[in-house]
C-alpha cells in the first residue's frame, strides 16, 4: 500500500528506523548529561566518572583490536604516559640531564597539559607502531607488554622527575571559564562527570569519522585479509601506524583525565590490570563495533561497584569472573553484535 506522500508502508518504516538510528545516540548522550541533575549522588557520579575514563581507553583500544585485529596488551603504557605528561606539565619540574645541564618547566595550565598528553602519547604510539608493526601475532603482543613494563620501571626509578613510589601529589584539577565567574576549578563530582562525558563523546566521534573514512576501510581490509590488502596496493604499515597514533592519543587523553581527577599518580598507573579492564570492555561489548566499548564499559565499569554492597570481596571477583565467562560463551561476538542480530531477525 502507498501512503499519500507516495511512499510505501515499508519505505516509511525504513525511513523511521533510519531517523531513530540517527537520533538515538544523541538522545543517549542527553540522558547521560542529565544524570547528575536527576541523581546527584556523589558516589554514583564518582563511579560513572571512573567508568567513563576507562571507556575512553577502551574506545582507543578498540581502534587497534577491533578494526586492525592487533591485540595490544601494553595499551596502558599510553594511558600512563598521558597521566604523567599532563601531571608533570601542570606541576612543573626541574631535572638534571648531565654535563651540568638542567631542564626546567614552570607549571602550565592544565589544558596545555591535556594537549601535551595527547601529543606525547601519540608520538610514542607512532614510535611503537613503526617498530612493532613489522611483526605480528604473539611477537607484537610481547613487544607491547614489554613497552608498558619499561615505562613503569622508568616511572618507578626516575625519582627526580616522577617521585617514584612516593607519587606525584597535589595535581591540580581541570578548570573552565564560566560566564560571570571567570576560570573555575572543576572540583565537584558533577563537573568532572560532564568533562569526562564530553571527552568520551569527542573520542567516539573521532573514531567514528576515522572508521567511516578511506583509512577505516583500509584498516578493515587489513583485518580481513592482510595479504589480499597488500596485493591491491594498501600500505599496511602506513595505515596501522595511523591507527596506533590516534589510538595512543585518545588513551593519553584518558590518562590525563585520570590524573587530574584522582589528583595523585604513581607507577601503578602502568599496571597490567588496567589493560585487562579495557580488553574486557572491548571484547564483551563487541570488538570492531563503535558502541561495543561503550556498552561493555558501562556494564563492567559499574558491575564491580554494584556488587560491592551486596557481596564479600572474594565473592565479588567470583561473580565478576563468572559473568565474563558467560558473556564469552553465549555471546562470543559481544553484546552489540548480538543485539544487532536480534533486531535484524525481528
DSSP 161-178: HH-GGG-B--PPPPEEEE
- CB count within 10 Å of CB 174 equals 23
User: What is the model's pLDDT at position 5?
Assistant: 54
Q: What percent of the chain has pLDDT over 70?
A: 91
User: What is the model's pLDDT at position 245?
Assistant: 94
**What is the C-alpha radius of gyration for the chain, rounded to an integer number of angstroms?**
22
pLDDT band at residue 90 under the 50/70/90 scheme: very high
Q: pLDDT for 151-198, tens place per residue?
A: 999 999 999 999 999 999 989 999 877 666 667 888 889 999 999 999
Q: pLDDT for 223-237, tens place per residue?
A: 877 777 787 777 888
Q: pLDDT for 52-83, tens place per residue?
A: 999 999 999 999 888 888 888 889 999 999 99
Maximal C-alpha separation, the chain: 86
Helix (H, G, I), strand (E, B) or coil at 312: coil
Give the side-chain half-sphere CA count within 13 A for 20: 6
Sequence-distant (≥ 6) Cβ neighbours of residue 132 within 8 angstroms:
140, 143, 144, 147
pLDDT band at residue 346 under the 50/70/90 scheme: low
Residue 320 has pLDDT above 70, yes or no: yes
Output the nine-digit C-alpha cell for 291.
558502541
**What is the per-residue DSSP string for 244-259?**
HHHHHHHHHHHHHHHH
Let me know: does 118 contact 56? Beta carbons within 8 Å. Answer: no
* pTM of the predicted protein model: 0.90
Amino acid at each position: 500500500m502507498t501512503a499519500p506522500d507516495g511512499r510505501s508502508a515499508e519505505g516509511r518504516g525504513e525511513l523511521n528506523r533510519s531517523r531513530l538510528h540517527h537520533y538515538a545516540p544523541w538522545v543517549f548522550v542527553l540522558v547521560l548529561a542529565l544524570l547528575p541533575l536527576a541523581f546527584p549522588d556523589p558516589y554514583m557520579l564518582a563511579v560513572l566518572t571512573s567508568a567513563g575514563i576507562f571507556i575512553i581507553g577502551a574506545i582507543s583500544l578498540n581502534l587497534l583490536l577491533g578494526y586492525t585485529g592487533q591485540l595490544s596488551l601494553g595499551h596502558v603504557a599510553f594511558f600512563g604516559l598521558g597521566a604523567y605528561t599532563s601531571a608533570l606539565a601542570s606541576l612543573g619540574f626541574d631535572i638534571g640531564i648531565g654535563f651540568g645541564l638542567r631542564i626546567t618547566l614552570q607549571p602550565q595550565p592544565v589544558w596545555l597539559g591535556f594537549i601535551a598528553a595527547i601529543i606525547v602519547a601519540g608520538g610514542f604510539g607512532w614510535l611503537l607502531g613503526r617498530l612493532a608493526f613489522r611483526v605480528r601475532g604473539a611477537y607484537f603482543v610481547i613487544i607491547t607488554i614489554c613497552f608498558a613494563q619499561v615505562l613503569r620501571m622508568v616511572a618507578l626509578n626516575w625519582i627526580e622527575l616522577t617521585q617514584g613510589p612516593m607519587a606525584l601529589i597535589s595535581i591540580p584539577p581541570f578548570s573552565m571559564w564560566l560566564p560571570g565567574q571567570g576560570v573555575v576549578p572543576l572540583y565537584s563530582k558533577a563537573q568532572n562527570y560532564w568533562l569526562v562525558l564530553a571527552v568520551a563523546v569527542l573520542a567516539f566521534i573521532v573514531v567514528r569519522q576515522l572508521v567511516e573514512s578511506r583509512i577505516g576501510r583500509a584498516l578493515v581490509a587489513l583485518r580481513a585479509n592482510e595479504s589480499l590488502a597488500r596485493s591491491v596496493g594498501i600500505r599496511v604499515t602506513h595505515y596501522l601506524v595511523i591507527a596506533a597514533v590516534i589510538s595512543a592519543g585518545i588513551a593519553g587523553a584518558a590518562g590525563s583525565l585520570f590524573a587530574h581527577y584522582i589528583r595523585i599518580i604513581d607507577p601503578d598507573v602502568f599496571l597490567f590490570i588496567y589493560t585487562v579492564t579495557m580488553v574486557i570492555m572491548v571484547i564483551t561489548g563487541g570488538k570492531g563495533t563503535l558502541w561495543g566499548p561503550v556498552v561493555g564499559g558501562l556494564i563492567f565499569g559499574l558491575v564491580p561497584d554494584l556488587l560491592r554492597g551486596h557481596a564479600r570481596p572474594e565473592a565479588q571477583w567470583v561473580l565478576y569472573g563468572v559473568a565474563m565467562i558467560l558473556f564469552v560463551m553465549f555471546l562470543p561476538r559481544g553484546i552489540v553484535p548480538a543485539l544487532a542480530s536480534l533486531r535484524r531477525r525481528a
